[in-house]
Every structure is written in structure tokens, then in C-alpha cells.
Amino acid sequence: MMSSLFKRFLLAIALVMSPLAFVHAQEEGHEGEVPGKHGEKEGFNVGEMIMHHIKDEHGWEFAHGVTLHLPVILYSQDRGLEVFSSSNLADEKVHKGYKQEHGKIHRVDEAGNVDHEAKVYDFSITKNVASLLLSALIMLLVFPAVSRGYAQNRGKAPKGIQSLLEPIILFVRDEIAKPSIGPAYEKYLPYLLTLFFFILINNLLGLLPGAANLTGNIAVTLVLAVITFLIVTFSGNKHYWMHIVKPTGVPWFVLPIMIPVEIVGVFMKPISLMVRLFANITAGHIIILSLLGLIFMANSMAGMTTSVAISPVVLFFTLFLNLIELLVAFLQAFIFALLTAMYIGSAVEDNHDADHGIGYEGAEAH
């Protein structure tokens, strides 16, 4: 019975994901066609297709020809604040003396050349910013509903969205916050929950065709890591700082080596958080897009017959990797929250004697 249900579940996922994968491939295939010198189409450029997907843009393209034009917000000392639609800069058009090149907006002169001396500050709502606002809106709508569910169903079985998210909330509390931070976990639990669900929601949104690669943007992961760094730094007690400047059980002549290593470790922790999330999410997108690119590379090199022949195999592996990416979406949110909780726990615990086994000799004897 369970085996039959599991097979039906996989079949349902395959029926849903395969068209999405094909549409996504078709969308990216159009973007990867490079015009030749005389207007003819050259070979498919898989690198350009991948970069088009993972980089930030001033417009949000959901599918080929279906684009949401986002507001461009520019400020310069001589012109002040200027706001207009990104559609005015599409296809390398010049608008109000501005032109977009390689994803960046520049001031141009009358001849259309970039004026590098003009300083323009770009505060535009890009695709990543729009995705960030969307994920924040989702959280602002969902979690107040969960909170109301707790208030209304106090002492009763959870219902609706509360029943879906309550196990995850309890998991973050019982398996991440409590073991890693200890008795002071309640103070940091709201941040850990916000961090976990923010990363999870954006990881899942990033798997949709045409979605933004928000958690694969190193600027976003940098901000998350800096927030964690500030919380750990300002929460650190005297035992935490003494462990850095004078590690317990270390001979005095080793301190000139250990102290710089400990100080470097303070900064390496947030750097590892930043790079791990960015690299894993970006790598997953690149692998999936590379597989989809094989269809169009085969079409360019060997014709449509070969492209159609390998499409089922490519779509099968794409589906398989999409399922793995679903797991990675949860796993990366868990790892980021867990490491953050561990760093906070190391900063707020009473002492670090346990790191060196001091005071635990008797426990081993028993």
C-alpha cells in the first residue's frame, strides 16, 4: 500500500515538474541564442544562458517574452532623483541620457558613449529586491496567521497553516536552539526562526521557473552572515572573549600563535556561513541549467533529431536534480540556522572548560 502511494507521489511530481523543466529550458534557450555578424543565429551559448538566470536584473522575466518591468530609481547630484520603468532601457535603448550595459545603468553623452565621470547612485527595485519583498510579504502574511492559530486553538489540536508549520517551528526550537544555545535559547529563538524560514522560502522560490536567485546572491548571504556576526559579538560574555585572548590549557609560549588563530576564527565563522549558502544554491542552479543547455547544444551541433532524442534523458536527470534541490533547500536553511545557533551558544555559555575536558575526568570514570 505504502509502495503504491509512494509511486503515485513520484509520478505526480514528475508530471508537474517535467513541463516546468521543459518550459524553463525553452525560455533559457531563447536567451542563449547569440546573433551573428549578419543577424544569423550562432551556436547556443550555455554560459550566457546560465548567467542570465543567476544574475540580478532590472526586469523580472518569468518566461520568454513575459517580463515584469520594475521601477528604476536613480539619484545624481546634478539631476536629483529620477524614477522610470526599466522597459525604457530594454534592448540597449537610451532613455533620459541613461543606458543599461551588462546589468548596470550608466550615464551616456550625446554620442551614446558611457560617461564614466558622472556619478549615478542606483536604488532600483531589481529582480532580487522584488523577490526579497515577496518573501518578506509571504512571511508577514503566514506567521501572523500561525500566531492567531496558537491563540485561538490554545490547548487544542492545530488547524490549517498552523498544523503545517508547527512541526517545523518545534524542530527549530527543540533540535537547533535548545541543544546549541542552552537555557538562554528563548532570547535568540525569534531570530533563528526568522533566519530559517527566510532562507527556506527563498530557496524554494528559487526553484520555480523564472524565479530570482536570491539566496544564490552573495550580497544577501553576506548580510545574513553579518547579522549573525553582530549578534554573536555583542552577546559574547567574558568567558567567550577570554577563550579568544587566553585559551584555557594552552602553554604561554603557544599563545602568540593561538591568539591570532582565534581572532581569525571569529571572522571566518560568518564568512563560512556566507560562502556555504551562496555556493550551494548557485551550484545547484548551474548544474540544472547546464543539463537543460545540453538539449540546445545538441540542436546547434547535431540538429533537432538529436536534440529531441536526448530530451527525455535530460528531463529525467533534471527532474531528479530538482528533487535533490528540494532537499538542499531545507538542508541549507537547517545548516545556516544550526551553525548560527552553535556560534551564539559558544558566545553565551558560562565557560569553555568542556572544550578541553577540564572538570570532566570524573564523568569518564563513571
| Residue where one domain finishes, among candidates 101, 124, 147 | 124
| Any domain includes 39 | no
Q: Is 265 exposed, middle or buried (0-12, 13-18, 19+ CB in 10 A)?
A: exposed
> What predicted TM-score, i.e. pTM, was given to this entire model?
0.80
Query: Are 102 and 212 in the same domain?
Result: no
How many independent structural domains does the chain possess? Answer: 2
| Any domain includes 52 | no
Query: Are 158 and 276 in the same domain?
Result: yes
d(C-alpha 185, C-alpha 341), whole Å: 9
| Any domain includes 60 | no
Query: Are 196 and 247 in the same domain?
Result: yes
Query: Are 239 and 305 in the same domain?
Result: yes
Query: Are 145 and 294 in the same domain?
Result: yes
d(C-alpha 310, C-alpha 194), whole Å: 43
Query: Are 112 and 239 in the same domain?
Result: no
Query: Are 174 and 318 in the same domain?
Result: yes
For the segment 237-269, what is each residue's pLDDT rounded down to a tens digit? 888 888 888 777 778 787 788 888 888 989 999
d(C-alpha 355, C-alpha 366), whole Å: 20
| Any domain includes 362 | no
Query: Are 175 and 106 in the same domain?
Result: no
Query: Are 150 and 269 in the same domain?
Result: yes
| Any domain includes 267 | yes
Query: Are 117 and 201 in the same domain?
Result: no
At 41, phi and psi to the nearest 5? -90, 130
| Any domain includes 191 | yes
For the segment 161-216, what is each residue's pLDDT rounded down to a tens digit? 888 898 999 999 999 999 999 888 999 999 999 999 999 999 999 888 888 889 99
Most confident of 60-69, 91-100, 207-216: 207-216
**Amino acid of residue 275:** V
Exposure string of 307-343, with b = 16+ CB inside 10 Å and e = fewer, is: beeebeebbebbbebbeebeebbeebbbbbbbbbbbb
For all residues of the chain together, what is the average pLDDT?
80
| Any domain includes 82 | yes
d(C-alpha 144, C-alpha 138), whole Å: 10
Range of the domain at 108: 71-124
**pLDDT tier, 9 (very low <50, low <70, confident <90, very high otherwise):** very low
Bridge partners of 81? 75
Cβ pair 24, 209 in contact under 8 A: yes
Query: Are 260 and 333 in the same domain?
Result: yes
Query: Are 133 and 228 in the same domain?
Result: yes
Say if residue 35's pLDDT is above 80. no
| Residue where one domain finishes, among candidates 102, 124, 146 | 124
Cβ pair 248, 355 in contact under 8 A: yes
| Any domain includes 41 | no
